[in-house]
A and B are shown apart, each in its own frame.
Chain A
Amino acid sequence: GAVVSQHPSRVICKSGTSVKIECRSLDFQATTMFWYRQFPKQSLMLMATSNEGSKATYEQGVEKDKFLINHASLTLSTLTVTSAHPEDSSFYICSATTGAPNSPLHFGNGTRLTVT
């Protein structure tokens, strides 16, 4: 079945540094990828939608200059948390789809970011 690989699974960084998270579709072309954030004991909050070759569309309240999303190819999207602060500590999950009508969403295993 379709697989989405997300890397790294865990990362600890110091406040003020930037962290890049990769999301790869391993056996299909992902026209559209979604990035979510999950706070402890809460649901997934959609942060942004990225279409290959286009600028990402951010949800209201999500700072686009802080959460940089790049979707330069049909198999790779990256989320960069810039100048990370402790409040950015969270679980980030990506999902990918081919973009065809009613095509399924495939999820990565998530990245646990801890900012010290």
Chain B
Amino acid sequence: GNSVTQMEGPVTLSEEAFLTINCTYTATGYPSLFWYVQYPGEGLQLLLKATKADDKGSNKGFEATYRKETTSFHLEKGSVQVSDSAVYFCALRSNSGYSTLTFGKGTMLLVSP
């Protein structure tokens, strides 16, 4: 079955530091890959996505590249801000059209001033 593995947190960084949150996946076929962000007490917001190999998703300074050869979709940001503090979920979705998302366990990011 499908599964997503992401690095455990919390990840603690100082403002303006470089961020990497690792994500690898197991799936049959060619899934779409997503990063979602959850701020405290809120639901999930789509951060970025990629639907095929070598695609790069990007949004708000975050980016991730769909690497089929390493089955990875690592999230990166060159300079984090305090406001980026949240929980980040890596997820995949089979391209069957009617399936839901399979989520990783989430990685908490804490950015200090």
Contacts and interface: CB of A to CB of B under 8 A. Distances in A.
Interface of A: 6, 32, 34, 41-44, 46, 49, 93, 95, 99-105, 107-110, 112
17 contacts: A6-B43, A42-B105, A43-B89, A43-B103, A49-B100, A93-B43, A95-B101, A99-B97, A99-B98, A101-B97, A101-B98, A105-B93, A107-B43, A107-B45, A108-B43, A109-B43, A110-B42
Q: Per DSSP, are chain B's interface residues mostly helix, strand or loop, or mixed?
A: loop
A108 B98 CA distance: 18
Contacts of A93: 43-44
Interface of B: 32, 36, 41-46, 51, 89, 93, 95-98, 100-101, 103-106, 108
A42 B51 CA distance: 25
A102 B95 contact: yes
Contacts of B98: 32, 99, 101
A53 to B, nearest CB: 15
* Listed residue (B44, B93, B95) with the most chain A CB atoms within 10 angstroms of its CB: B44
Contacts of B104: 43
A110 B96 CA distance: 26
A62 to B, nearest CB: 14
A112 B100 contact: no
Contact of B100 (A42, A46, A100, A109): A46
A105 B105 contact: no
A39 B100 CA distance: 19
Contacts of B103: 43-44
